[in-house]
């Protein structure tokens, strides 16, 4: 089989808990690229925070914000911000339940607080740099949000917001944080649109992930891998299971397909 596209989640798939990656993971990405496979990062993270990582790995293409924005060789090919009224409803709900939010534009991470302990931990853990306080009545497009300091009993109130999907942030060291994603937009819909734009059949696409926000992506491609450290609820949605991120799961997955000898 000839493969043309490879989609990789970041946290728990490329990056280990200490924000590093193994030499075999980097080697796997480079070998895939040497065979003409276009490698995409596919993440819930904002793309403006990933310039350094992408440069280190030589990755020019990416899907960010859980599928709301995508670039191919650094050219924008997908741009679907959130509805402004939905953003405002979410801000009101967060204020009512004393939650904190980060709202992602294509350039900044806008926080409702920069001093709350959960926010400080979130910023430190994900090594976020482009951080500012959210200004009232902002008109800039928002692509996704994360709510922090959210107790489980209040999660259903967010799930009742129209056209909003609530996904646990599945990262060790982070608790009481949930990604707020547009219901009809996810990594899977983004992969589908990217493949259509590039004219690549899904059978020639591969994806690796570890969290439930990777579910649709894994179902959209021909060859899908879940990391051994992934959410057990994700296992049924992948065609293959590979080793943990610490044990270079991307490398051994691509080896199973014969891309790496």
67-75 mean pLDDT: 95
Q: Tell me whether residue 156 is in a domain.
A: yes
Lookup: tokens for 11: 């946290």
User: Which tokens is 166 given?
Assistant: 């609530």
Tell me what pLDDT residue 214 has.
Answer: 95
Residues 196, 178 share a domain? no
Say if residue 195's pLDDT is above 80.
yes
β-bridge partners, 8 = 41, 208
Encode burial over 151-160: b for 16+ CB neighbours within 10 A, e otherwise. eeebeeebee
**Are 32 and 90 contained in the same domain?**
no
pTM for the complete prediction?
A: 0.89
Region 162-167 average pLDDT? 88
- Domain final position from 156, 182, 208: 182
| CATH number of the domain encompassing residue 168 | 3.30.1240.10
Q: Positive or negative, the Cα torsion across 41, 11, 238, 58?
A: positive
Q: What is the mean pLDDT of residues 25-37?
A: 97
- Burial class of residue 150, CB neighbours in 10 A (0-12, 13-18, 19+): buried
How high is the mean pLDDT of the chain? Answer: 95
What is the reported pLDDT for 140? 87
Asked whether residue 227 is domain-assigned, the answer is yes
Single residue among 182, 213, 238 that ends a domain in this structure:
182
Residues 220, 194 contacting (CB under 8 angstroms):
no
Mean pLDDT calculated for residue range 132-143: 88
Residue 258: exposed, middle, or buried by beta-carbon count in 10 A (0-12, 13-18, 19+)?
Answer: exposed
Nearest to 174 by CA among 128, 126, 130, 104: 126
* 170, pLDDT greater than 80: no
Residue 177 tokens read as: 């944080």
pLDDT at 171: 77
**pLDDT recorded at residue 167:** 85
Query: Residue 122: how many CB atoms within 10 A of its CB?
Result: 25
The total number of structural domains that make up the chain: 2
- On whether residue 261 sits in a domain, the answer given is no
What's the distance, Cα to Cα, between the start and end of the chain in Å? 15
Q: If pLDDT is split at 50, 70 and 90, which confidence band does 221 have? A: very high
Q: Of all residues in the chain, what percent carry a pLDDT higher than 70?
A: 100
| Residue 204 belongs to domain spanning | 5-80+185-256
CA atoms of 193 and 199, how far apart (whole Å): 10
């Amino acid at each position: 089989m000839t493969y043309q596209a490879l989609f990789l989640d970041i946290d728990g798939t490329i990056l280990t808990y200490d924000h590093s990656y193994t030499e075999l993971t980097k080697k796997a990405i480079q070998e895939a690229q040497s065979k003409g496979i276009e490698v995409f990062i596919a993440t819930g993270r904002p793309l403006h925070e990933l310039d350094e990582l992408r440069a280190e790995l030589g990755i020019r293409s990416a899907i960010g914000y859980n599928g709301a924005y995508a670039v191919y060789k650094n050219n924008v090919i997908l741009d679907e911000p959130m509805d402004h009224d939905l953003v405002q409803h979410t801000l009101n709900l967060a204020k009512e339940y004393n939650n904190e939010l980060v709202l992602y534009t294509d350039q900044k991470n806008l926080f409702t607080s920069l001093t709350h302990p959960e926010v400080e931990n979130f910023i430190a853990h994900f090594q976020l740099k482009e951080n500012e306080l959210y200004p009232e009545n902002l008109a800039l497009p928002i692509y996704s949000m994360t709510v922090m300091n959210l107790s489980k009993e209040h999660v259903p109130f967010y799930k009742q917001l129209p056209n909003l999907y609530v996904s646990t942030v599945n990262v060790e060291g982070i608790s009481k944080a949930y990604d707020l994603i547009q219901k009809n937009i996810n990594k899977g819909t983004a992969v589908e649109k990217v493949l259509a734009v590039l004219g690549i059949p899904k059978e020639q696409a591969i994806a690796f992930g570890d969290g439930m926000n990777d579910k649709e992506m894994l179902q959209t491609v021909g060859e899908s891998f879940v990391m051994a450290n992934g959410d057990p609820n994700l296992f049924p949605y992948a065609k293959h299971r590979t080793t943990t991120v610490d044990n270079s799961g991307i490398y051994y997955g691509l080896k199973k397909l014969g891309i790496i000898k």
